[in-house]
Structure 1
Amino acid sequence: MSTNPTQNITASMPSPGGKKTIVVFGATGTQGGSVVRALLQNPIFAVRAVTRHPDGVAAQELKKLKAEVVNGDMDDEQGLRKILAGAYGCFLVTNYYEHMDMNREIRQGKNVIEACKTAGIKHVIYSGLERTEGSGIDGPVYTFDGKAAVEDYLEASGLSWTSTRIAFYCENFFSYFLPRKTAENKYTVTVPMGKKPIYLMAACDIGHCVTEIFKDPIKYKGKKLNLAGDKLTIDQVCATFTKHLMPKQFQYSAITVEEYAKMTFPGAEEMSNMFHYFQLKSDDLRDVPMTRKLWTKCHTFDSWVQLNKDRFLQSIK
């Protein structure tokens, strides 16, 4: 595998058919992959998909969709400038959980922003989050606070920008919060939210929201958009699962944030702080009506479960 970050880049040439090239970082991840797929459905955009694993299965799938897949690393400042050269826009998502180092995440975000300035990028969309410091929770949420710092840097950069702050992925119920079988056709869902609602977002809708912003960047310039497709309590989440997956039945296994912090997996304490923050901000953390106006086909949790019924049944076998 080549380690040249400018591998296959045709940035200095006009995009095919005069399309606007959008550089998408984290292209093989949840958000980046959604953005690549949605942009490629729109005839005015071409996509340069950035990944550290251009020969991987996920990257090959993007190639089949006609994305230009390039090898890139957000720690490589010189390589970033070459990757961004000639592009119209940039979608940037940084991944704290890849290395669990907030300072590195901030540095990577700043590297891309500086490269965007050098390349003359017309609009940057950053997957940001708000700062949790001073919110009343017991400890830090590094993945939030790091992204808040990058968001601040972008705001002061002089670039045209929008920040998209995403809600809890519906897809988390396939992995981190997969329901646990307790008896025949009986399952429990454990998310430390108590009776407070949680904001939810289907991953596939993220890309469409980003595409709508790139279609009209002036309208969304300088805005921090708090995106969510739905807002439900975990009891309501369980009722929705039961509705679509009967005879399987789902019940909320309540757990406090204090109990969650004592779990043994890496990052449990920080995640408990995150859920504490979600509880404190349950009234206004995200804006469901605005999101559904931005992307009118945005999924409710009910429609998402219905769409993913077969996949979900396979996951909980």
Structure 2
Amino acid sequence: MAQYWRHGCSPRILFVLLIVQWIANLFVSHSFVWLLRKLTPDQMIVLTGATGGLGSQVLKYLLTLVPPSDITVSLHNPAGLDPSVASTGITVRKGDYAVPTSLDAAFAGADKLLLVSYPSVAHELRVKHHVNAIEAAKRAGVKHVYYTSLAFGYGTKPESCAAVMQAHLDTEAYLRKSGLKYTIIREGLYNESYPLYFGFFDPAKDTDVYVPGDGPIAWASRTDLGEGTARLLALPPSDTRFDNTTLLLSGPASNLLTLAQLSSLISTILGREITLHIISRDEYVKKHLDESGKIARLTEDYLGKWATTFEAMGRGETGIVDPTLQELLGRPLKTMEESLREALNASRDKHLDLYATAQY
């Protein structure tokens, strides 16, 4: 303040300047962050599926947005949580979708619940587990349930011809009628899950890819989706923009790619021609059933159901671009090319692990 005194500032002006400087220092200090947290009511956020591909990313980013003491994870196997994550100060509880009483204890005291969809293609089992979680949330007095759905259905419409989407649609309908405040998040199709849609592509050996249809997909990276979901969870209760809504978190227009375009991109990255073949649904089932030895658990039932995703793609269900994810993140989204280069460079000599890339 000496420079102001030398320039003839009056004591009154000098006092005002001192106050302004003190306030400025307060805003950049740890004390202000502590004070802000004290003035903002704590919200307990319970995460399910926090060791999975999406859930682990949500937890990673949520830890940068709220205090660890506000986070509880509900896991069917708490021992599976990375010790470095468990040591951050979050609360870890045992909760199993198949055991409703365990969910009562896991969700106790929660203000918000992230219900990560159960990873299965078994429709009835999946819906039953989701209903168990929703009913437990009601009993526990949870104020707001966030559900991770999937980006089929023309954006946010309650319809789809994809078999994998049917359990999501049933869960969405049940949640809307539950009386709970909800946010249904239709998570974009992962960049990282491209092998599922690209004929179970094995970069270590495949040169020909066989699928029963094609259509545009607004691909989004799992890391971006995890961060976007975390930012939704961290919003204060006063921000009601997403209350009782269904929203789509998609990739940007630059990530809107068909499988044919994906084939060209992969060919460029690998430096060898990858040829896409469009075949009938029956041929698709037979071909991949004959090759089921290279990928465990590819059954006729699974392949028949999975073939319906290509019909949905062809109808345009997965080709909707929505700005919400980029708006939540406030930065450009990861490109499909960037994700492909990372995945293909890491797996040139490795065979496909179907379940490491799965998204249901």
Q: TM-score, normalised by structure 1?
A: 0.78
1:219 maps to what in 2? 241
State the Cα distance separating 1:33 from its structure 2 match: 1.6
Paired residues of 1:54 and 1:60 also in contact (CA < 8 A): no
| 2:323 paired with 1:289 | yes
Paired residues of 2:192 and 2:343 also in contact (CA < 8 A): no
Residue in structure 2 matching 1:235, options 249, 260, 267: 260
2:313 maps to what in 1? 278
Instruction: Map 1:182-193 onto structure 2 (within 5 A).
Output: 187-193=207-213
SS at match of 1:161: strand
State the Cα distance separating 1:59 from its structure 2 match: 4.1
Deviations 1:170-225 (A, max 9, x none): 2224678333455xxx744445433x222322111221111222233511112211
- Taking the aligned partners of 1:44 and 1:202, their CA distance within structure 2 comes to 25
State the Cα distance separating 1:107 from its structure 2 match: 1.8
- Taking the aligned partners of 1:221 and 1:180, their CA distance within structure 2 comes to 42
Instruction: Map 1:168-183 onto structure 2 (within 5 A).
Output: 168-173=189-194, 177-181=200-204
Q: Whose strand proportion is higher, 1 or 2? A: 1
Instruction: Map 1:1-317 onto structure 2 (within 5 A).
Output: 19-44=42-67, 46-56=70-80, 58-60=81-83, 62-64=85-87, 66-97=89-120, 100-129=121-150, 137=161, 141=163, 143-173=164-194, 177-181=200-204, 187-194=207-214, 196-216=215-235, 218-229=240-251, 230-243=255-268, 245-262=269-286, 263-264=288-289, 265-266=298-299, 267-282=302-317, 285-295=319-329, 296-308=331-343, 310-313=345-348, 315=350
User: How many positions carry a matched residue from both structures?
Assistant: 290
Q: Which has the larger radius of gyration?
A: 2
Q: Structure 2 vs 1, CA of residues 305 and 269 (structure 1 numbering), >3 Å: closer, same or farther?
A: same
State the Cα distance separating 1:249 from its structure 2 match: 4.7
Paired residues of 2:46 and 2:114 also in contact (CA < 8 A): yes
Which runs of 5 or more residues in structure 1 are unaligned? 1-15
Q: TM-score, normalised by structure 2?
A: 0.69
Paired residues of 1:22 and 1:87 also in contact (CA < 8 A): yes
Q: Structure 2 vs 1, CA of residues 62 and 246 (structure 1 numbering), >3 Å: closer, same or farther?
A: same
Deviations 1:13-39 (A, max 9, x none): xxx987533211122112222211121
Tell me: higher relative CO, structure 1 or 2? Use CA pairs within 8 A at least 6 residues apart.
2
Paired residues of 2:182 and 2:244 also in contact (CA < 8 A): yes
Which runs of 5 or more residues in structure 2 are unaligned? 1-36, 290-297, 353-360
Amino acid at match of 1:198: I
Q: Whose helix proportion is higher, 1 or 2? A: 2
Paired residues of 2:266 and 2:274 also in contact (CA < 8 A): yes
Paired residues of 2:74 and 2:93 also in contact (CA < 8 A): yes
Paired residues of 2:270 and 2:344 also in contact (CA < 8 A): no
Amino acid at match of 1:34: Q
- Aligned CA RMSD, in angstroms, stands at 3.2
- Taking the aligned partners of 1:30 and 1:281, their CA distance within structure 2 comes to 26
